[in-house]
Structure 1
Amino acid sequence: MSVNKAYKFRLYPNKEQEIVMAKTIGSSRFVFNRFLSLWNERFQTTGKGLSYSACSNQLTSLKKELIWLKEVDAHALQSSLKNLSDSFDRFFKKQNDAPRFKNKRNKVQSYTTNIEKKNQQPDVSISGNRLKLPKLGWVRFVNSRKVEGRILNATVRKNPSGKYFVSLLVETEVKEKEKTGSTVGIDVGLKDFAILSNGQVYKNPTFFRKLEEKLVKAQRILSRRQRFAIQQKRPLSEAKNVQKQRTKVARIHEQIANARTDYLQKITTEIIKNHDVIGIEDLKVSNMLKNRTLAKAISEVSWSEFRTMLEYKATWYDKQVIAVDPHCTSQKCHSCGHTAKENRQTQAAFICVSCGHSENADINASRNIHELAMAH
């Protein structure tokens, strides 16, 4: 099966390459904002926006006027226009909000370059621990795994920690996983991350909690340095101690995010490998985050990311993920079907007031989810 797969690698550019990256990121942002402004003006006056082709033609003229746009990768500028066009398409389909202007102070700065050229050598190639990118030449990178397939595009990112990464989008063939004949329901939680209907439990590693004390201390130091810089009437962007501490805080956040993503990748792959049909709850996580008491814990466990990983891996390996209505899955007795709030004695204990069936509340819920998924 042919799928699009992303490979992410750490980049180690030299000083000259960092300058070119910064120019490309800034130029891509300028093009996006410029044509977003033109698009909005046109829509207000005529009721119609600008097409991608119209923007592309105007970009050619703009390059003649602003010579510095020719110094960066032309594919990156075209990608900005495509992103703008796609954003408006999704907006009119009510899939997302209207595009907003990009800010140079955004935490993550990036640009995307298209790679493949018909009947020509691709702009990106890999040789050992070096990666060739347009306008940058050969850049050192951590070649941690083999890239298999045809490279479609590359996205260069600079994280708040100051680290550079490249994500290569590749069209590749994925072999279907061997069928196991197994089906399972999954109940996600805060104490235990995922509870399967077969009794298997994936613990919540609580990456944030483990590093929270370190993060709080680093953030307090940052706040103190920011106040001191403000008292001295120095711009925060020019206060070296503030910027150093911002980088330290960003690296702790990055460490938490990397550990969480690694854990989710491992357990989702294991679940997809061992089961053909997986039932999950169709949770409205954005609404659940409005609960101030639980928002912190819910955002830490990343239920939405967990579901996304399950779904795209199921597509890759010819498995099936079925989302079911979560209503009353935790209050319904799996044994007799009786539903009542009183059935849930505590967070962990489930005792049916009708038939007396007793078991772990999360396992009971996961079995209800499994039953709903099989009846779907």
Structure 2
Amino acid sequence: MARTVKRAFKYRFYPTPEQAAELARTFGCVRLVYNMALQARSEAWTLRRERVSYNATSALLTGWKKTQELAFLNDVSCVPLQQALRHLQVAFTNFWAKRAGYPSFKSRKRSRRSAEYTTSAFRFRDGKLTLAKMSAPLDVVWSRPLPPGASPSTVTVSQDAAGRWFVSLLCDDVIEQVPAPGMGSVGIDAGLDSLLTLSNGEKIVNPRHERADRQRLAKAQRNLARKEKGSANRAKARLMVARIHARIGDRRRDHLHKLTTRLVRENQTLVIEDLTVRNMLGNRSLARAISDAGWRQFRTMLEYKADWHGRNLVTVDRWFPSSKLCSTCGALADRMPLNVRSWTCRCGTVHDRDVNAARNLLAAGLAVTACGDGVRPQQETSRTGRSSAKQENPRATKGIPVL
């Protein structure tokens, strides 16, 4: 069984000076059009309680191009400008549906520099990509092949803070949905000492990418702080800081990609905990380590890869007491401070905190998939004195050795 999905393939490229100048102008025009359209829509609502649609902003763009002050908008491709208006429409749609906050203006210094081209604004032939308003193809480093017979529907060009240029091609890709070997199931507990702890007892080491480059980063930031604002030396120092951050992010992303791919290929059902990472970052003692672990990025990757390969991904309620619950007898400990890494239940079982939590997550997840049960057990039920989710526990932990 196979499934066709939309998949973006990202590559690095090296533009000529003329291409870099053209793309820089496009980025600036995209940002300007987005901000002007956002201002027009905000004023229309504030003054007249009127909702401006995408078609209305497209008509405004046509008028802006005819003015003398904004005639330079005609020098770049019109497609990225129209795409910016579409992105703004999506932002407002998400805001009205209460999925996101109110759209904000794009900053020249802080916002992502990117432009999106549709099929009418680029040509892809014989492995060469040529954008509108350009006479020569981009010098793309094809680090991995595109799917056979791929025809990109959109192309997104971007430049990161480190000055690197990237092009992302959105294509249809066919993914074979092969069942996992043995139809296995695994509970996954995220942590800091170990990045992940699995219900089978395996612990995955936390690479701590930011800590490895912390001294280099601190030195580069001190060097940046000493430079005069607006000087060429400050621009060079800022670029050095950005390159270190890019190196940290690339290594973290690569590690998480390999890890999530292995988990999805080896297991049919994966159970994780619904962590509120944003709230956890309020802990000033752990915020840096939590950010370095990349829990939110790990969950995002796991979600879309599980969907691609036809896996079952179960998310357990964040209030489920996975650490305080004994995976052997189901007893609930009174309290479990973070500094307690192993504990002994009154039934005599000695638990590793993280392994026990992963087993409880797996049991709760299998209870959900088996009977649609809840995953936040109460202290006791009317008949059994045990949580309903724990009734699935003996089957979930059968064959798993107790530490």
The TM-score normalised by the length of structure 1 is 0.92
Partners of 1:43 and 1:344 lie apart in 2 by 50
The number of aligned residues is: 359
Partners of 1:126 and 1:262 lie apart in 2 by 30
What's 1:78 paired with? Answer: 82
In the TM superposition, 1:219-234 aligns within 5 A as 219-225=221-227, 229=228
Partners of 2:214 and 2:125 lie apart in 1 by 39
- On the 8 A contact 1:155/1:166 being kept in 2, the answer is yes
Once the 2 structures are TM-superposed, how far is the Cα of residue 158 of structure 1 from its aligned partner?
A: 1.1
- On the 8 A contact 2:122/2:129 being kept in 1, the answer is no
- For residues 119-163 of structure 1, the C-alpha deviation after alignment (integer angstroms, 9 at most, x for no partner) is xxx7231545x4322223411011111122331211111111111
Amino acid at match of 1:223: A
Of 284-293 and 46-55, deviating more is: 46-55
What's 2:114 paired with? Answer: 110
Partners of 1:345 and 1:309 lie apart in 2 by 27
- On the 8 A contact 2:4/2:174 being kept in 1, the answer is yes
Partners of 1:345 and 1:62 lie apart in 2 by 59
Amino acid at match of 1:140: D
- For residues 234-254 of structure 1, the C-alpha deviation after alignment (integer angstroms, 9 at most, x for no partner) is xx33x1110111111100000
Q: What is the CA RMSD across the aligned residues, in angstroms? A: 1.6
Residues 1:319 and 1:15: Cα distance change in structure 2 (over 3 Å): same
Gaps of 5+ in 1: 230-235
What's 1:233 paired with? Answer: none
Amino acid at match of 2:266: N
Amino acid at match of 1:178: P
The one of 88, 93, 97 aligned to 2:97:
93
1:357 aligns to 2:337 (yes or no): no
- On the 8 A contact 1:333/1:343 being kept in 2, the answer is no
What's 2:133 paired with? Answer: 135
Amino acid at match of 1:274: E
What's 2:373 paired with? Answer: none
Match of 1:124, SS? strand
Amino acid at match of 2:258: K
Amino acid at match of 1:14: T
Match of 1:368, SS? helix
What's 2:144 paired with? Answer: 145
Would you identify which runs of 4 or more consecutive aligned residues in structure 1 move more than 4 Å?
342-346
Q: In percent, how many aligned pairs have the same letter? A: 36
Amino acid at match of 2:109: R
Match of 1:336, SS? coil
Partners of 1:46 and 1:150 lie apart in 2 by 45
What's 2:26 paired with? Answer: 24
Residues 1:342 and 1:101: Cα distance change in structure 2 (over 3 Å): closer
Of 105-114 and 90-99, deviating more is: 105-114
- On the 8 A contact 1:344/1:350 being kept in 2, the answer is no
Gaps of 5+ in 2: 369-403
- On the 8 A contact 1:187/1:362 being kept in 2, the answer is yes
Partners of 1:175 and 1:10 lie apart in 2 by 27
Amino acid at match of 2:141: V
